[in-house]
Amino acid sequence: MMRSLSALLAGALFAVGLILGGMTQPGKVIGFLDVTGRWDPSLAFVMGGALLIYAVLSRLFLRRPAPLFELKFHLPSRRDIDRRLVLGASLFGIGWGLGGYCPGPGLVSLTAGLLPVVFVTTMVLGMYAEREIDKRLRT
């Protein structure tokens, strides 16, 4: 129960941060990505603030023997850069630049009634397609 409640509170805090930071406004995001035109650097402060908070708090939390509601920390074990990672990051960046949304702000915008239905639908279809392609390649 506490694990679900903490996940809900963390998600709600994340959503509020995305809204307040302007990440749910596609025009603002596209303005940030348009470095050769009318560049809007304001999201750099949002992202920089997030990275700073993460850098400090992650070091503090990882000193603990375990998280509050888990038996152990679940950290990524792979550190290599492969073709799948580069392709996925490229597709993510292309989608972000074209749509003005990335997955988190897209879902927050959808629940806030801003209706990026095409973006969220294609994101879900892409996730499904990747899973099916990965299954077929592994067999």
Q: Which pLDDT belongs to residue 1?
A: 81
Q: Which pTM was predicted?
A: 0.74
Q: What is the rounded CA–CA span in Å between residue 129 and residue 123? A: 10
Q: What is the rounded CA–CA span in Å between residue 22 and residue 97? A: 15
Chunked into runs of 10 residues, the chain (139 residues) has average pLDDT values of: 88 90 87 88 90 94 90 91 88 83 86 76 87 85
Spatial CA neighbour of 32 closest among 91, 97, 95, 89: 97
Q: Which pLDDT belongs to residue 115?
A: 67
Q: What is the rounded CA–CA span in Å between residue 99 and residue 116? A: 9
Q: Where are the domains of the chain?
A: 2-138
Q: What is the rounded CA–CA span in Å between residue 45 and residue 124? A: 29
